[in-house]
Amino acid sequence: MTESTSPAFEGLEVGQTVAERALTFTRDTLVRYAGASGDFNPIHYNDVIAEEVGLPGVIAHGMLTMGSAASVVEEWAGAGNVSDFQVRFTRPIPVPNPGEAVVTVTARIGALDDDRRTARVDLTVQHGDTKVLGRAQAIVDCD
């Protein structure tokens, strides 16, 4: 799908999977995101501090997780066609050292609005069996 094209409303069905992707976060990913965002909270790079505040160790940035999940919908919908995106942060994503945290994103059509020609896309965002984003939803403008 090109950037200027939005999904065709006809042919979409509630329950239809429109996108799936596995995201990989490493400590390097967190360093790069911290530099880009300016979020240098030590829970994202220092195991000792993360554990002192009750976390299992270093965790991924919530906004990194949210933005990465949103990109899955945006790649399917085309640039500029996601008019709303909302999530609830439910669980942290521990990022081991060494190693990686794999997060799976599945985007399904949750509802269709015939009058507005929009699709509500519901996302399931999981690290293993743990749901890390709750009520993750995007509104997509369709052709």
Q: How confident is the model at residue 1 (pLDDT cuts 50, 70, 90)?
A: very low
Q: How confident is the model at residue 4 (pLDDT cuts 50, 70, 90)?
A: low
Q: How confident is the model at residue 17 (pLDDT cuts 50, 70, 90)?
A: very high
pLDDT at position 126 is 98
Average pLDDT over residues 7-16: 97
Conformational region of residue 138, where left means phi above 0, alpha means psi within -120 to 50, and beta covers everything else: beta
Average pLDDT over residues 51-67: 97
- Give the domains, in start order, of the chain with CATH numbers: 17-26+61-141 (3.10.129.10)
- Contact assessment for residue 113 and residue 55, using Cβ atoms and an 8 Å cutoff: no
What's the Cα-to-Cα distance from 100 to each of 10, 28, 95, 96, 129, rounded to whole Å?
39, 10, 6, 6, 16
Average pLDDT of the chain to the nearest whole number: 96
